[in-house]
Amino acid sequence: MRKFFQWLLRKPVNWLAEKFSSDPNRERIHTALSNLYKNIKENPGKKGLLLELNSNSRFIIFSDQHKGAKNGSDDFMFAEKNYLSALDYYNQNSFYFISLGDNEELWENTLFAVKKNNVLSFDKEKLFLHRKAFTKVFGNHDLYWNNDPFAGWQLKKIYDEEVKIYEGLILQSTISNKLLEIFLTHGHQGDAQSDGNKFSTWFVGTIWAPLQAYLD
């Protein structure tokens, strides 16, 4: 019976998940990203950082890990071993770690469940923070870090020190007397369904997450 329902429900549920998780609008996205870029340039350290990029720089950028609760809807758990090994390598070789959003899957899971089931990953990430080589950017699935008044307290409990959350950052370098900039952000800005949309959050957490666990 379960296999029958899996066959029957998989396509319509996947379609609904796509429909309610994203609604991009080109003009709105361009405006939002342009405003963020301008804000970082004019007020570095508020919404984002300006970091120097030179011949000695070493950056590693991870996004969309979606660390979950080690259940049927947790896609990260299959990649966790590789992620931990990668963090060991990059930390040992003095890379600067940029976590570019959706590091945690907080639409489908409670923060308590994510913290409880991903201690090893957080411990590895701490090592970069302790070297002052860690920047954390929020995405649409971990908007909690930017919106919740207790987010700073929770981050300090996870990482053992204060962690400021940013919306983006800009890497800057000068090559042949010309300024080169790399603008980094998660990219959900301007998406009506993803940019803090409460219905999307409810749908994914209440409908999609339990069904995904069942269908898998």
pLDDT in tens, 140-155: 888 889 888 899 999 9
Q: Indicate the average pLDDT of the chain.
A: 84
Could you read off the pLDDT of 77-115 as tens digits, one per residue?
A: 999 999 999 999 999 999 999 999 999 998 888 899 999
The tokens for 193 are 């369904």
| Per-residue confidence (pLDDT) for residue 55, from 0 to 100 | 86
Instruction: Tell me the pTM.
Output: 0.79
Cα separation, 71 vs 197, in Å, equals 25
Residue 168 has pLDDT above 60, yes or no: yes
